[in-house]
A = this chain, B = another copy of it.
Amino acid sequence: MLNKTHTKYIQSLHHKKFRDELGEFIAEGPKVVLELLDSCEFVCLYIIAVESWLQMNEKLLQTYPGPQVFTVKDFELDKISLLTTANNVLAVFKKKATAAFIPENKITLVLDGIQDPGNFGTIIRTADWFGIENIVCSPACADMYNPKVVQSTMGSLSRINIVYTNIEEWLQQTGINKYAAALHGTPVNDCKKLTEAVIIIGNEGKGISDAVMQLTNEKITIPKIGEAESLNAAVATGIILAQVC
């Protein structure tokens, strides 16, 4: 059973301010929690779950020593969950230090202000599908530890190295070819496979900022046949990565 202090503590992690202060974040649902536990990339502090789920995963949980385990009723889980319907388990993990990297001989994704947590999480998951190891985010991007981001990554969070930095400076220091997703450019189907590149995806509404666009070498466009005003940022990322990876 959870006491008031525990409940308040978990609820505080719904907010970036407290995630930053404590260096901790929450993950929900069996799939995401088990993937993060399994990756050993994040230290798990607490597992809060309904009895049936704990019984089903008893042996598995013994292989992850460390986290304090709380058995709760559905209504208690509902109180601390951000999901429409709480999904059996919620866990608290320690954030990990992000590693600086040199993107040689690989494709790196740069995100210029992806603000929707669902989009951001789906982009992380899509990058993981295509074997991308590193994502560089502008400070305006959503927080990678936002519960909705964690949820949408479906466990991919543990496999991608994500850094937040001034992307203009980062691009200036990076000598390899930079491709921008843009409204006018080389049609994506004419792009060749790339082994070393930076792919830049812009904000959902405003696209890539002028300052960043000036630092790119080539523009890639997804030709429009119908009438939609724009494509979802995660869908656009998937289409470009499917072509160049």
Contact = CB atoms under 8 A, between A and B. Distances in A.
B122 A235 contact: yes
Give the interface centre of A229, A237, A243 by most chain B CB atoms within 10 Å.
Answer: A229
Contacts of A127: 226
A126 B159 contact: no
Contacts of A228: 125-126, 128-129, 154-156, 159
A80 to B, nearest CB: 19
Nearest to A238: B235
A245 B36 CA distance: 38
Contacts of A227: 128, 131, 156, 159
Given A238-B238, A238-B239, A245 B225 contact: yes
Given A128-B228, A129-B228, A154-B230, 7 more contacts: A126-B231, A127-B226, A128-B226, A130-B224, A131-B227, A232-B238, A239-B239
A242 B122 CA distance: 18
A132 interface: yes
A242 B239 contact: yes
Contacts of A243: 189, 242
A230 B152 CA distance: 12
B131 A225 contact: yes
A197 interface: no
A222 B238 CA distance: 10
A236 interface: yes
Interface in A150-174: 152, 154-156, 159
A118 interface: yes
